[in-house]
Structure 1
Amino acid sequence: MLFMMCCIAVMAATCSQIFKTLFSENDKSSQGRMFAMNLLTVVMSLCFAAPVLELMFKAFSAELGSSMGMQSNRWTVWAVLVGSGAVAVYGYLLYGGTPKDKRGQFWPIGRSIVLSGVVIVGVMSSISHLTFFRSYQDGIANIELLRKMAPLKDLAQCNSGVAFVQFREDDGPIKYRCPTLLMFGGETSQPFAPWPDFVDGESQELAVLIHDTIQAAQKLGEK
């Protein structure tokens, strides 16, 4: 939910900047700066909200009967990281362009705090995803189905029907991540759960169950 609130804040900043340009009288010397600021806000809003826009595009394509297949959504996570950087630059330029006698007022300070929060959420969300899914072998597991095969007692804090898992070849515990609220790219092998809407942990029982399932599938394939 926090990520969605940040997306709304970025969109609101973009609309505010564009309306400010349209309805304010600017001299020729400031037109270039205003154009650059408008372009920056459009870039940051499209990049930061990339997971949401992709979800909407896929939903629209599904309504038209078009199948998107199992495409990777990793590019949207990189876009969030780029968008977070653009938000940081925009906030810096916006604060720098505020007259010094007004920088201590409520709105300039509040606006800077909100934009700083957006940057933190965006960076944490993208970095946590990119560092968790480090290999194409990492993926998603249907915990609801696996619980019917084993109790998975050390996975008690995972209340989601699915979990992101890091693949490992040895018999050690598997690192998992359970989304608690939002998940983008659920049809892909590596969905995106924004920070902080997930729970991390390790599970030995899940590792044993996945290892046994893979071995059983391999033996079945050899017959």
Structure 2
Amino acid sequence: MTVPLQIGLLIFPKVTQLDFTGPLQVFSSVPGAKVHLIWKRIEPVTSDSVMMLTPTTTFADCPQLDVICVPGGAGADDLLNDEDVLDFLRRQAEGAKYVTSVCTGSLVLGAAGLLKGYRAATHWSAMDNLSAFGATPTKTRVCTDRNRVTGGGVTAGIDFALTLVSMLVDRTTAEAIQLRLEYNPAPPFQSGSPDTAPAEVLARINERIAQFKARRKEMVERAATRLNESA
């Protein structure tokens, strides 16, 4: 009897739902895989949109995972100094085949001490925070460094998940899932990266997120200080 792959995605208040629903759709298509949505308690949590999310298991009841994945979002900043979350990730990382993230979820892995000495990707607006945790910021949609696989911002979660399935199972399985989802991107605009977005669009977004970036920087500095003190 084949033991099913155990794949777990952390969910939390103010998570960016597309960070994990993209990978969730991919992982749920892997034959025989068991996918878990994990939080501290079994109670609905709010996403960063109108969608409410219900965990399927708790930290205490979660089995040892083959893949642990941390998505991002505004709520991820609150996890950087949450010892319950960080301890759970450290425990799971000891036995996991792959330790992964999407978007700013990589900062949470970093705060848990799980990216020191690794290359990692994240959302473009958070790239300068990774080095505080001893990671090497890598500007790419999917970054693979040994058993750490990290995705860039939000929509990169689908690329990340398909890449990971090709590593967990095989390329043909990943390609079949891609075809089933008709994942064939053709964006209407070329503004999906700060490198290609019009200057006025980039300026507007930077102005809108300035306050969030300042708060994130403060949380990262606190987390990095605690991590260094415990080393």
- Identify whether the pair has TM-score above 0.5, normalized to the shorter chain: no
TM-score w.r.t. length of structure 2: 0.26
TM-score w.r.t. length of structure 1: 0.27
Structure with the higher helix share, 1 or 2? 1
Structure with the higher strand share, 1 or 2? 2
